[in-house]
């Protein structure tokens, strides 16, 4: 319980720092953690149409990674994700939100842009 609370506090601190440092879509971030960033990213459904349950999938993935990975993802989101969704897939393709294991399509996989594929429900290569 103490470890989970520490991880949540670490994520909230990272969001607070990122939210203060960067304007734009990150301004919507709150101390609730990464969920507001996920909500913002999932509004870009044209680029992320392959995710049947975008918010559920990304929240679960970010919830399951280390605080360091989550902080790095939030920093990338703050620096490069725009309100007009032009960078939505690039934001998704970062460690923490893209998949390193299971997939339904190649776009699910980390490394898709460099050749990763989805074979029999598993990410390969990239």
Model confidence, pTM: 0.69
Residue 102 in domain: no
What pLDDT does residue 52 have?
A: 86
Residue 18 in domain: yes
Residue 10 in domain: yes
Residue 111 in domain: no
Residue 60 in domain: yes
Report whether 41 contacts 88 (CB < 8 A).
yes
pLDDT truncated to tens, each residue of the chain (126 aa)? 333 333 333 443 333 333 333 334 343 333 345 668 888 899 888 888 898 899 999 999 998 999 999 999 998 998 888 667 888 999 999 999 999 889 999 999 999 989 999 999 999 987
Residue 107 in domain: no
Residue 73 in domain: yes
Q: Which domain holds residue 74?
A: 2-97
Q: Structurally, how many domains does the chain consist of?
A: 1
Which three-class secondary structure state does DSSP give residue 122?
Answer: strand
Residue showing tokens 């050749």: 115
Number of H helices, E strands in the chain: 5, 2
């Amino acid at each position: 319980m103490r470890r989970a609370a520490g991880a949540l506090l670490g994520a909230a601190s990272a969001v607070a720092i990122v939210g203060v440092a960067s304007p734009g879509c990150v301004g919507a971030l709150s101390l609730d953690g990464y969920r507001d960033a996920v909500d913002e990213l999932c509004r870009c459904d044209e680029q992320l149409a392959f995710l049947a349950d975008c918010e559920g999938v990304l929240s679960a993935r970010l919830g399951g990674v280390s605080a360091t990975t989550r902080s790095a993802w939030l920093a990338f989101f703050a620096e490069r994700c725009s309100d007009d969704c032009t960078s939505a897939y690039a934001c998704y393709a970062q460690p923490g939100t893209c998949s390193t294991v299971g997939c339904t399509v190649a776009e699910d996989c980390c490394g898709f842009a460099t050749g990763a594929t989805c074979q029999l429900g598993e990410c390969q290569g990239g």
